[in-house]
Amino acid sequence: MNEQDLRTAFQDVVVTSSPPPAMDPNRALHVARKARSARRSSLVGAVVAVLVVGIGLGSAFALNPAGTRDYLTGAGPSSSSSRPSGSTMAWASEQPDRSASQGPQAVRAEQLLDAVKRSAWSYGYETPALKYQNTQSGNGEMMHAQAVLASDPGEQPELWQFTAYVPVRKNGKVGKLVIEVSTPGPRHASEPCALAKQFWGKSKAMCKVRNVNGLQVGDAASQEPGGVLGWMSYKHPNGWVVTVAQSAGFDGGGYPALDVEPFEGSELAAMAVDPKFANLG
């Protein structure tokens, strides 16, 4: 059998073989805290697909090293040229993780941080630029904001989550205020408590529905290692979801905690329904 016969035989096998299974797409959240079991299943599917492609490329390289090398180095036509500008796949190819460090989404995260600080100031709190004192929690800034792509590659509409973490200080004691804002998407529950229990995967949280000037807000709480975490979740008319969370202490910060939670329930709920958080950018 000569080289031409080998090439023809390999092409016949490729044509008649079944294609590898497509990836089954599903706060991620967070790249970290927002990972869901469905997304982990999607990741497993992606790994299997990569292994299948790798096996195929290994066989192709044995038969046609030059052609396979061209494919791996990007020579010849590339499907990336047909991707729409700003698509998930195009973004992911430029940045290895799901966090946006620049561009319009990063700007939105900073806008959210500024808005959260102004809200804290209006209730008499300082928002100092503190650093973690507990080295096990990190040496960075306690106050920060992030923009994370929570949807899977190719999923439409793209789901972006913007989160601001703010230490709130009064009389030398420090608590924590967190606001997470999500763009519209079919994943968001409509019932207030079902929506609240989607926050950070807190499906077992205690929850009740709170009425705020005729608006239905999910009022939830969960016992955490560092104390009680309480939050309010509201789905705005434009589809954006706002969750405002608080705790009397800032876990890992190393500073004395406030004697009570920073905000009354009514104050936390008022922030959740505030339209400025659902109109970033």
| Backbone torsion region of residue 200, taken as left when φ is above 0, otherwise alpha when ψ lies between -120 and 50, otherwise beta | left
Q: What pLDDT digit, counting tens, does each position of 175-201 carry?
A: 999 999 999 999 999 999 999 999 999
CA atoms of 158 and 154, how far apart (whole Å): 8
Backbone angles phi, psi at 33, to 5 degrees: -80, -15
Please name which of 254, 269, 248, 272 lies closest in space to residue 170, comparing C-alpha atoms.
248
Mean pLDDT over each residue of the chain, to the nearest integer: 76
Q: Express as a percent the part of the chain with pLDDT over 90.
A: 57
Going from N- to C-terminal start, the domains of the chain cover: 3-76, 104-278
Cβ pair 131, 140 in contact under 8 A: yes
CA atoms of 153 and 131, how far apart (whole Å): 35
Other Cβ atoms less than 10 A from the Cβ of 184: the count is 16
Query: E strand or H helix at 160, and its extent?
Result: strand 160-170
- Average pLDDT of span 237-263: 96
Query: What pLDDT score was predicted for residue 154?
Result: 87
- Average pLDDT of span 114-139: 89
Q: What pLDDT digit, counting tens, does each position of 76-125 carry?
A: 433 333 333 333 334 443 444 688 989 999 999 999 999 999 999 999 99
For the chain, the straight-line distance linking the first and the last C-alpha, in angstroms and rounded, comes to 65
Query: What pLDDT score was predicted for residue 81?
Result: 32
Each residue of 246-257: b (16+ CB within 10 Å) or e?
A: bbbbbbbbbbeb
Q: Express as a percent the part of the chain with pLDDT over 70.
A: 64
Query: What pLDDT score was predicted for residue 255?
Result: 94
Each residue of 132-149: b (16+ CB within 10 Å) or e?
A: beeeeeeeeebbebbbbb
pLDDT band at 18 (very low <50, low <70, confident <90, very high): very low
Query: What pLDDT score was predicted for residue 252?
Result: 87
- Average pLDDT of span 59-85: 37
pLDDT above 90 for 202: yes
Q: What pLDDT digit, counting tens, does each position of 230-248 carry?
A: 999 999 999 999 999 999 9
Q: What six digits make up the tokens of 109?
A: 């995260």
- Which of residues 59 and 253 earns the better pLDDT score? 253
Bond from prior residue into 96 cis (ω within 30 degrees of 0): no
Backbone angles phi, psi at 85, to 5 degrees: -60, 130
Q: What six digits make up the tokens of 16?
A: 């008649």
Query: What pLDDT score was predicted for residue 55?
Result: 41
95-103 CB contacts, 8 Å cutoff, 24+ apart: 97/31, 98/28, 98/31, 98/148, 98/149, 98/150, 99/31, 99/146, 99/147, 99/148, 99/149, 100/147, 100/148, 100/149
